[in-house]
Amino acid sequence: MSTTRGLRTQPPDDLLRSDAPAVVDTLGRPLHDLRISVTDRCNFRCTYCMPKEIFGPDFAFLPRDQVLSFEEIERVARAFVELGVEKLRITGGEPLVRRDLTVLIGMLAALRRPDGQPLDLTLTTNGSGLRRLAGPLRDAGLQRVTVSLDSLDDAVFAAMNGVEFPVAKVLDGIAAAAEAGLAPIKINMVVRRGINEGSIVPMARWARDAGHILRFIEYMDVGTTNGWRLDDVVPAADVVAAIDAVMPLEQLPARYRGEVATRWRYRDGSGEVGLIASVSAPFCGDCTRARISAEGKLYTCLFSAIGHDLRAVLRSEASDAELREVIGGIWRVRDDRYSELRTAATGDLPRVEMFAMGG
């Protein structure tokens, strides 16, 4: 596997998407996107993320006082925006289980980039709470949602979500998001060999007919509790081939450097699908994402073992300028590119669970 890919000292022009002051890491990647986990709790027990055998009724989630408050989240998000972040994604755990989330969305929607423009503000959810919350979230200033859905088949979906959650309820949540105007709606489907490969074509057909953007995600070795094996990964190329056999596809050019999904359009013009090939074709060279966990740790890679404790800074006497200095200092020395270096040896390294870090 390449060890030189992505090595750059200067940010390529097309990675810099506005005139915001760019904070650039050692590989020339600017700080552009921030994912904020607002809770480590979830009402699903997806086998590949939070298996119920490990995350049972006795599992100790974070006590409330260790989770960032809305004021702390807003302050840290503002610091990131001042450093060049243009896109905020709220995630978890399941973000919709955090009480009064609409209040936080309102606070984040009020933030402005240094050039005065609003942020791109979106949220990833399992969809279970959208019927109740889609309208209030939209009213609070949320622009779009991504909903995770791994199958349209109740038996397959139940086997993956771990709590027998019915497909119909997620579909109803997606409908509520569409009614509220949280569009375009993206749907994330994690594909696991031998589990939901049979759902690829039905999901593609459904999303195309409904006008949603479906993205297939290769099953990743995040965390250590899901027992990941390379054999469980269905490579993106196989997903494309399965769809192309019944609904012919052609590849679309990337809209901008750093676009995570490769995009394919139906040749009959009826829509497109995305492929997130984080295992078979990693994209570390263009990764402009930072993540903050519910307890305020900053991770500069999904596969990091160690986070930087921003909560300690937020709860100290540090000024906003000092907070920005800490964050900028962490980003400037960033050199992570785990997925490009993934080998048998990296499999044994410690890693933080995705629900804890924020997916």
Rounded-to-integer distance, Cα 46 and Cα 232, Å = 15
262 binds ligand SAM (CB under 6 A): no
Choose which of 39, 47, 122, 188 interacts with ligand SAM (CB under 6 A).
188
Residues 71-100 that bind ligand SAM (CB under 6 A): 91-92, 94
Long-range contacts of the stretch 262-265 (C-beta < 8 A, 24+): 262/236, 264/240
The least distance separating ligand SAM from the CB of residue 92, rounded to whole angstroms, comes to 5
Shortest distance, position 226 Cβ to ligand SAM, whole Å: 6
Nearest to 142 by CA among 96, 187, 99: 96
Instruction: Give the binding range for ligand SAM (CB under 6 A) out of 15-23, 124-132, 321-329, 330-338.
Output: 124-132
The nearer residue to ligand SAM, 30 or 173, going by C-beta atoms, is 173
3-state secondary structure of 353: coil
Task: Tell me how far apart the alpha carbons of residues 223 and 324 are, in angstroms, rounded to a whole number.
Answer: 29
CA quadruple 97, 79, 300, 252: dihedral sign? positive
**Least spacing, CB of residue 187 vs ligand SAM, in Å:** 9
- Residue 302: left if φ>0, alpha if ψ -120 to 50, beta else—which one? alpha
| 124 is an interface residue for ligand SAM by CB under 6 A | yes
User: H helices within 25-111, ranges in order?
Assistant: 70-82, 101-109
Out of 39, 47, 122, 148, which residue is the one contacting ligand SAM (CB under 6 A)?
Answer: 148
| Closer residue to ligand SAM (CB): 42 or 204 | 42
Spatial distance between the Cα atoms of 101 and 97, rounded to a whole number of angstroms: 8
CB–CB of 207/271 below 8 Å?
yes
CB-based closest residue to ligand SAM: 359
x/- binding map, residues 192-231, to ligand SAM, per CB under 6 A? -------------------------x-xx-x---x-----
The interaxial angle of helices 101-109 and 130-140, nearest 10 deg, is 30
User: What is the nearest approach in angstroms of ligand SAM to the Cβ of residue 191?
Assistant: 9
* Nearest residue to 27 (alpha-carbon basis) of 255, 340, 264: 340
165 contacts ligand SAM (rule: CB under 6 A):
no
The answer to the question of residue 303 lying near ligand SAM (CB under 6 A) is no
Nearest approach, Cβ of residue 209 and ligand SAM (Å): 21
Among 83, 119, 134, 190, binds ligand SAM (CB under 6 A): 190
β-pair partners for 292: 36, 298
Look at strands 262-266 and 297-299 and give their pairing.
Answer: unpaired
Q: Is 273 helix (H, G, I), strand (E, B) or coil?
A: strand
Residue in 20, 24, 34, 42 binding ligand SAM, rule: CB under 6 A: 42
Q: Which of 125, 199, 262, 304 binds ligand SAM (CB under 6 A)?
A: 125
Residue 39: other Cβ atoms inside 10 A: 22
**Residue ranges in contact with ligand SAM by CB under 6 A:** 42, 48-49, 91-92, 94, 124-126, 148, 188, 190, 217, 219-220, 222, 226, 354-355, 359
